Amino acid sequence: MATFVLVPGAWHGGWTFEAVTPLLERAGHTVHALTLTGLRPDDDDATVASANLDTHADDVLSLLGRTRITDATLVGHSYGGMVISAAADRAGGRVSRLVHLDAYVPRDGESCWSLTTDGYRRSFVEGAADTGYAVRPPFRAPHGGDPRRRPHPLASVVQSIRLTGAVDRVPRREFVYCSGWADGTPFTALRTRLQADPEWHVHDVPTGHNAMREAPRAVAELLLRAAPSDTSA
């Protein structure tokens, strides 16, 4: 059986996987859906201001150590792709699978800021205007977005990742491209690059960016496809 560690994107917490988690657990797997430092409801301003990409990688590594996980599947959505890359690079072989769910796949020295679009960079700057250290959640029509979203630590999206190359030795690496928001996605060129890389498995799902909420069964089925209990994988 697999152990899944689910890492949300910016502004979100572990709750964003609430429709996927029970599907994985029902199949007999262990699931940890993280809420990263600075995104928890009781985090104070100082915690939010000081949280960066290293902090979030440490959140994952602390979970692996605390629960004695030695064979983790890390799933990162959007910004969470930065986090799982950094964590896997430092995990000392405790990660066997990476799934970037419509998520950034950084190389050494890159950041969420450098990898995203001009539109997202503008939203980071404008969203941080109130405090200078936390990016308020963007408005989402027609309902304004989930009220559980919280301001995201700005330092985490501008910090450059430091990779030793160990992340490239994770046995299975996957990228999931959400094709239902072609007018806004920053991941089209990344999909093309990874499709040409024989060390990556690339999947397409016809949803918007938040596939785990729009199509939780499809996401769960994709995650279960290569889980240890699936003898066809």
Instruction: Report yes or no on 229 lying in a domain.
Output: no
Considering the chain, what is the average pLDDT of its residues? 94
Q: Of 61, 96, 94, which is closest to residue 173 (Cα–Cα)?
A: 96
Q: How confident is the model at residue 210 (pLDDT cuts 50, 70, 90)?
A: very high
Taken as a whole, the chain contains a residue count of: 233
Asked if residue 100 is part of any domain, the answer here is yes
In this predicted structure, what is the pLDDT of residue 121?
96
- The predicted pLDDT at position 228 comes to 64
Q: pLDDT-derived band of residue 232, with 50, 70 and 90 as boundaries?
A: very low
- Determine the pLDDT at residue 141: 53
Tell me whether residue 231 is in a domain: no
Alpha carbon distance 97, 171 (integer Å) = 6
- Is the pLDDT confidence value at 229 over 70? no
Is residue 109 assigned to a domain?
yes
For 178-201, write each residue's pLDDT tens digit: 999 988 999 999 999 999 999 999
Structural tokens at position 5: 């560690």
Residue at 66 is within a domain? yes
Domain that holds residue 202: 3-224
* pLDDT of 230 strictly over 80: no
Q: What per-residue string of b and e applies to 125-163 under the rule 16 or more CB within 10 Å gives b?
A: eebbeeeebbbbbeeeeeeeeeeebbbbbbbbbbbebeb
CATH of the domain at 193: 3.40.50.1820
Question: Is residue 197 domain-resident?
Answer: yes
Convert the pLDDT of each residue in 28-52 to its tens digit.
Answer: 999 999 999 999 999 999 999 999 9
**Active site annotation includes 78:** yes
User: Per the structure, how many domains does the chain have?
Assistant: 1
The pTM of this model reads 0.95
CA–CA gap between residue 76 and residue 98 (Å, rounded) = 8
In a domain, 59, yes or no: yes
Q: Which residue has the higher pLDDT, 184 or 170?
A: 170
Reported as a pLDDT band with limits 50, 70 and 90, residue 123 is: very high
Q: Please indicate, yes or no, if residue 233 is contained in any of the structural domains.
A: no
Query: 50, 62, 78, 232: which is the annotated catalytic residue?
Result: 78
pLDDT tens for residues 55-108? 999 999 999 999 999 999 999 999 999 999 999 999 999 999 999 999 999 999
Q: Is the pLDDT of residue 227 over 80?
A: no
